[in-house]
Structure 1
Amino acid sequence: MRICRFNKDRLGVVDGGSVFDVTAALDVLPSSRYPLPSFDPFIANLGQVRQCIDELLPSAARLALEDVQLLSPIANPGKLVAAPVNYTKHLEEARADAGVHHNGKIEEIQRIGLFLKANSSMAGPSEGVAIRHPERRNDHEIELAVVIGKPGVGISRADAWSYIAGYCIGLDMTVRGPEERSLRKSVDSYSVLGPWFVTADELPDPTSLDFQLTVNGEVRQSANTRDLLMDIPALIEFASSFYTLHPGDVIFTGTPEGVGPVHAGDLIVAEFDQIGRMEVAVRAA
């Protein structure tokens, strides 16, 4: 199932060029009071929501996909976990390009580990990317985003797949510079998720997905998830050895070679086999 969040927090199911409004399915979510949960209630209750969606679909209002504004399909992730330099050729280009490394030492992912991006940096495709420091280089990074479906800590590689709720396309935007990654990658709108959430049963094998990113029609990045240095189960095992993963947590799995700058007025198009395509406009903050 392909599930989107659109317009003013409506819930939809995407089928071809149509969106079916199933917002009423959110009524099955438990009510919350302060303090609010530190996980995403939609993902935590995905099974019940999907049962309700199945009941609503036959009579759901149908809208044209091109007429809706797509928000981040995951509204309340507890954590945005990201994997740096997780493709060999990106590691090589980062080491070779002073505009990327800024005289810092670029280490292998197994040595430097993962990092966190602020939840406040999350945006949907229709919200676009707002360039905060135009005097500096601001780069695009397309990634497979993995959404965690249930709580777990110390998850083994063998069990990792059972903890995945589904997948999105992720844009891990970054301001280049000497500061720590988490600071430069946590700018508002610099974690784009979309165009929708594809449930794990819809995409049973994400280990060999072609994907590409274009800027104004020019292909910048083109790769396949088979080339990940640390694959999806390894990332889940690694992350959960340091902290508990919760429903709705998102793991950005890393970007391939071809990262490059964007500017206000550019149009990024990110595409993933078996997930979809999203257009993300770049503007000034």
Structure 2
Amino acid sequence: SVSKSFTAAAVLDLVDAGALALDDRAGDLVPGLGGPAAEATVEQLLLHTSGLSGSHGDDHVPLDRDAAIAALSELESSFGPGTGFGYSNSGYTLLALIIDELSGSGYREYMAAEIMRLPGSDGRIGGFWDGEPAPRGDKAVGLVDGAPAASLGDFAGPYWAMEGNGDLAMTASELAAWTAALFEGEVIAPEAVELLTGTVFDQGDGTSEIPGWVALDETAYGVPVYTVAGGGGDTGHNAVAVWLPETRRSLAITSNTSEITASELLDAIGPALAAGE
């Protein structure tokens, strides 16, 4: 699910370029889309406030683009758009379809060329867990229930069950560097970063949703942070990325076992790290 922060960055990059607006309806951007999904706005999809419920596909089960649009069109709504919060993988796949439609190059191509980059580097960071472009180097084997995971990055696709919501892979150092570059305005324009941090759904408990991230007040770690976490499924991996805006520091932690997760490691060291200890 850390992939969602990259998807959100791509969407805001396209907003900054004038290709779409946050209040555009998904049905006006993706031909053939119907049902409640068509009524959701880009902003609602980014903040998980669209009301969409259910799943459009299963991890590592082949799903092509047309079938994904058809499945998304069948999703129901659990609340009025913009009136509540409901985490939705399907909403982020719909955002990937919007990127695919409006980027002029296709979803994976746009992500690789424009978003999965670091300043001063002429190469892509990371890649897609399954398919191309793939990460460079060997992949760590995840553990599921203490045994090697079945998913090793060799799924042949098509990939639209996971595109946009959980499809990327990279090293922890790449993720930490990208997190810093994102919030410093070096991946997308500074104006797009301002839009990212200023597009908010307040949960009322010290946490707020922003596109692709969660904003936490000082309660959790002693200082405000932006964070995103994900894991589970059949890969056996989990990860968390953090941006500390007051000190402009980034952190990424990865784990290949549920026995000690990246989020648990963050909880163990986060307060001391935030305090500079």
* Alignment TM-score, normalising by the size of structure 1: 0.30
Bigger relative contact order, structure 1 or 2 (CA pairs below 8 A, ≥6 apart) = 1
* Alignment TM-score, normalising by the size of structure 2: 0.30
Q: Identify the structure with the greater strand proportion.
A: 1
Q: Identify the structure with the greater helix proportion.
A: 2
